[in-house]
Amino acid sequence: MNISIFDMPEKAIEYIKKNINLWQPYTNLKFNFINTRDGDIRISGKDDGSGNWSAIGTEAKLKPLHEPTMHIDLLQTADMLNHTIRHEFGHALGLLHEHQHPDNEIQWDKEKLYEESGKLGHTRQDTDENFLNPPDSKTTITSTYDSRSVMHYKVPAEVTSNGVAVAFNEDISEGDKQFIALLYPPTHVQLLDD
Ligand SMILES: [Zn+2]
């Protein structure tokens, strides 16, 4: 899989590579970083105010080759930046939000959540898409709910009605590693007659 990283200083490129490579041992993919802008995954760091986002898995193939498939906002604290790169690359590998898992233990206080995310500039529709809507069960493979997943947002108890809170997850969890290994299983050499 070819990965292009552009519109940022060399130091930032190296930082992003280091974080992406944390996923590598749990996949059968080879992450091949290239210097041109036409990779399968194209990561921009251009200061365009678009926040952090990524195409989910194969959605990246539907994007025109001259457009990025992922964006990283470089103006963040180190722990947030680590989380962001690992999380967005999780999306690139096809992972969805863990806090939207059908078996999560969160009972959202929706009005409070809309209010708090509104303060960060998010519309109700953004909030529905990024927090509330469950994934399409017909097209989604689901593992056990994992509140330590790097694909989980931090959830303060103030936006839930049952007092459940989920801490900030900086690291790729054991559950994340197992699930990605399930999606990208190691290939075995076929030595037996069939
Ligand atoms: Zn996300």
Domain boundary among 57, 77, 94: 94
Q: How confident is the model at residue 3 (pLDDT cuts 50, 70, 90)?
A: very high
Residue 18 pLDDT greater than 90, yes or no:
yes
Which positions ≥6 away from 2 have C-beta within 8 Å?
32, 33, 34, 38, 39, 40, 41
Domain hosting 167: range is 97-185
Sign of the CA dihedral with 179 first, then 185, 186, and 191 last = positive
- Residue 28 CA to ligand 1 center (angstroms) comes to 23
53-98 pLDDT per residue, tens: 999 999 999 999 999 999 999 999 999 999 999 999 999 999 999 9
Ligand 1 centre distance from Cα of residue 54 (Å): 8
Tally the domains of the chain. 2
Q: Are residue 78 and residue 136 in the same domain, yes or no?
A: no
Cα 91 to middle of ligand 1, angstroms: 7
Domain end position, chosen among 49, 77, 94:
94
Q: Tell me, yes or no, whether 191 lies in a domain.
A: no
- How many angstroms does the Cα of residue 35 sit away from the middle of ligand 1? 26
Q: What is the pLDDT of residues 120-171, one digit of tens each?
A: 999 999 999 999 999 999 999 999 999 999 999 999 999 999 999 999 999 9
pLDDT class of 192 with cuts at 50, 70, 90: low
The pLDDT, as a whole number, for residue 109 is 97
Same-domain status, 53 and 104: no
Q: Residue 96 C-alpha to ligand 1 middle, in angstroms?
A: 7
Q: Measure the CA angle with vertex 63, ends 120 and 65; round to 5°.
A: 120
